[in-house]
């Protein structure tokens, strides 16, 4: 199941979020993707989710949240990506980084080839109370063994001075 949230006209995406409704621990979010790289910055987020195995009989849904703001005249927003190799290993790490001088405002991820068998375990910007971060640690692992190959893409939404 997939859903998207969009920023109003004239706004840019600065952060992302999602909510699983009625899933009772039986649904895995597979994607939390900003809508790409553009000169004007990302403007939407796509969220995808799968039922864990075995299939879940109850009704459930996913809600996407787009955190949006006015474009800043002296800054631009970009989405930075880092993708792990595609293998059958049990765990993956991706670390998207902002360009030099930039800092993280939001994050996302995409699991490729996992089909509900891989669980994201971390989506952690490296900032602190004393200053903003410049990279995101994105981690995932296999929930159950499966023979296929899979990869993890991490996304950082970054603001950088013009």
pLDDT at residue 32, as a whole number: 93
* Residue matched to tokens 């995409």: 110
Residue 14 domain boundaries: 2-161
pLDDT at residue 160, as a whole number: 82
d(CA 91, CA 118): 9
pLDDT surpassing 70 at residue 131: yes
For the CA atoms of 43, 116, 122, 85, what is the dihedral angle to 10 degrees?
-90
pLDDT-above-90 percentage for the chain: 37
- Residue 39's pLDDT band, with cuts at 50, 70 and 90, is low
pLDDT digits (tens, 9 = 90+) for 75-119: 676 778 888 989 888 899 999 998 888 888 889 999 998 877 888
pLDDT surpassing 90 at residue 151: yes
d(CA 12, CA 54): 39
Tell me which range, 32-36, 55-59, 133-137, is most confidently predicted by mean pLDDT: 133-137
Q: Check residues 7 and 57 and name the one with the higher pLDDT.
A: 7
pLDDT at residue 54, as a whole number: 72
pLDDT at residue 140, as a whole number: 93
- Residue 37's pLDDT band, with cuts at 50, 70 and 90, is low
d(CA 157, CA 65): 15
Contact 159, 89 (CB under 8 A): no
pTM of the model: 0.86
Alpha-carbon Rg for the chain in angstroms: 16
Rounded mean pLDDT of 146-159?
A: 88
d(CA 153, CA 120): 11
Contact 63, 16 (CB under 8 A): no
The total number of structural domains that make up the chain: 1
User: What is the widest separation between alpha-carbon atoms in the chain?
Assistant: 51
pLDDT at residue 36, as a whole number: 62
Q: Is 106 helix (H, G, I), strand (E, B) or coil?
A: strand
């Amino acid at each position: 199941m997939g859903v998207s949230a969009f920023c109003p006209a004239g706004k840019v995406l600065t952060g992302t979020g999602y909510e699983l409704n009625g899933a009772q621990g039986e649904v895995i979010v597979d994607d939390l993707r900003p809508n790409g790289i553009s000169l004007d910055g990302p403007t939407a987020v796509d969220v995808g989710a799968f039922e864990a195995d075995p299939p879940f009989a109850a009704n459930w849904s996913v809600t996407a949240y787009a955190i949006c703001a006015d474009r800043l005249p002296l800054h631009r927003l970009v989405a930075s990506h880092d993708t792990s190799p595609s293998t059958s290993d049990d765990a993956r790490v991706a670390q998207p980084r902002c360009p030099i001088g930039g800092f993280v405002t939001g994050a996302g991820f995409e699991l490729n080839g996992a089909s509900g068998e891989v669980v994201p375990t971390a989506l952690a910007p490296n900032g602190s109370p004393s200053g903003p971060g410049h990279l995101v640690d994105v981690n995932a692992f296999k929930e159950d063994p499966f023979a296929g190959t899979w990869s993890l893409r991490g996304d950082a939404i970054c603001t950088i001075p013009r």
